[in-house]
Amino acid sequence: MEEHIQKAVDCYEAGATVLHIHVRELDGKGSKRLSKFNELLAGLREAVPDMILQVG
């Protein structure tokens, strides 16, 4: 998760204003668990509060 947040920061610093996100389980399959989305969104909102976040 930290790697995803750092990549979002890097993209924001490079000029990106919108980020579309998906979350995955440990086996690499897409996840629909809200807890995983909420964890990532909380980290992103703290790290890049002005970035528009789109959940997929």
Give the model's pLDDT for residue 1.
86
pLDDT given for residue 54 in this prediction = 97
Angle at 31 between CA 8 and CA 41, to 5 degrees: 35
Mean pLDDT, contiguous 10-residue spans, the chain (56 residues): 96 98 94 95 98 95
Q: Is 1 helix (H, G, I), strand (E, B) or coil?
A: coil
Write out the two tokens for 16.
């990106």
Give the H or E element holding residue 43: helix 34-47
pLDDT at 25: 93
